[in-house]
Amino acid sequence: MKNIAVLQVGPLMPAVQEPITSEYGAVRLPDPGPGREEFLQQHGGSFDVAVTSGKVGVGTEVMRALPNLRAVVNFGVGYDTTDVAQAAERGIAVSNTPDVLNDCVADTAIALYLDVLRRTSAADRFVRRGDWLSKGNFPLATKASGKRVGILGLGRIGRVIARRLEGFDCAISYHSRNPVEGVSYEYKASPRDLAAGCDVLIVAAAGGPGSARLVDAGVIEAIGPDGYLINIARGSVVDEDALVAALLAGRLAGAGLDVFADEPKVPEDLLALDNVVLLPHLGSGTHETRAAMAELTLANLRQFVGTGSVLTEVHA
């Protein structure tokens, strides 16, 4: 394949943006507004490949405005912001960057797990405020080892999280769409059943319409006032209003959140809660992992330019 026209959709890290610009002359899609609409009307039919990120994606309307699109190359494991159903209908290949970020996202889940239960961030703030000197000892926290942990979504990342937790002598159960072969963890029939039988629920399910608000008010209620919720998946998987209400009412002991429903906006009520740890969606945010993600993104693009296929294709 020759003379491939590449469209950059949304911001990308320099390690991706610079090569796609220098090697393929990628053109940046204007930000939403009249300028974008005019650009797509005039040039939308020119592009064969879109390179984007899991945060931005190629949504329904943008994809429709690219009638000759043949591939969406996605920087990130999540692809729920891309209209994969339309892509499948039109024969558009969609790739992501699986596996290379499993370790760091799992490490983030464990960091949140330890922080929320042992209250390390809250204790740090306690020291910095001078409360140790003026108020005495910090309140007792919760033991992290030996807990019953439910993992919602035992995919690539979920399995790595489970292996990490084995080192803490945790009893692990899980729920996925179907039981996972080759694991010894107990399978639960529904998210609510999973939540009712654990002390900590870790959300590692894929995003998208099929998992929207999978953790609803009933699931949160089933975790109970002594239980904790950790979310390193997508903000859309959890009913954020129900979560906030449960935390404010004391119906949940705490939460560790790396993702939110309307990023970068975080519910105002959460900011003042000392039993909640808030991270700015940094699950894969290490130098090593982002470099590996960039390399795989570029490998997918080069593979498509050379052969018309991608290395790590996803399916609707």
Give me 193's structure tokens: 């059943």
Return the ∠ at Cα 17 (arms to 103 and 109), rounded to 5°.
Answer: 20
**CATH superfamily label, 6-100+288-314:** NAD(P)-binding Rossmann-like Domain (3.40.50.720)
CB atoms within 10 A of CB 253: 20
Give me 111's structure tokens: 């960091």
Q: What is the pTM of this model?
A: 0.91
- 182 contact partners, CB below 8 Å, separation of at least 6: none
pLDDT computed for residue 316 by the predictor: 67
Residues in a beta bridge with 173 = 150, 186
- 246 contact partners, CB below 8 Å, separation of at least 6: 217, 220, 221, 252
Equal fold, 6-100+288-314 vs 102-278: yes
pLDDT computed for residue 2 by the predictor: 57
Task: List the catalytic residue out of 38, 61, 89, 263.
Answer: 263
315 in catalytic set? no
281 in catalytic set? yes
177 in catalytic set? no
Distance CA 139, CA 154 (A): 34
**CATH superfamily label, 102-278:** NAD(P)-binding Rossmann-like Domain (3.40.50.720)
pLDDT computed for residue 165 by the predictor: 98
Contact 188, 197 (CB under 8 A): yes
Closest CA to 222 of 245, 196, 242, 247: 196
Task: List the catalytic residue out of 159, 234, 240, 290.
Answer: 234
Task: List the catalytic residue out of 159, 175, 192, 281.
Answer: 281
Consecutive 10-residue averages of pLDDT for the chain (316 residues):
85 97 96 94 97 95 98 94 95 96 97 98 98 97 98 97 98 96 97 98 91 96 98 96 98 98 96 97 96 98 96 89
pLDDT computed for residue 209 by the predictor: 82
The residues spanned by each domain of the chain are 6-100+288-314, 102-278
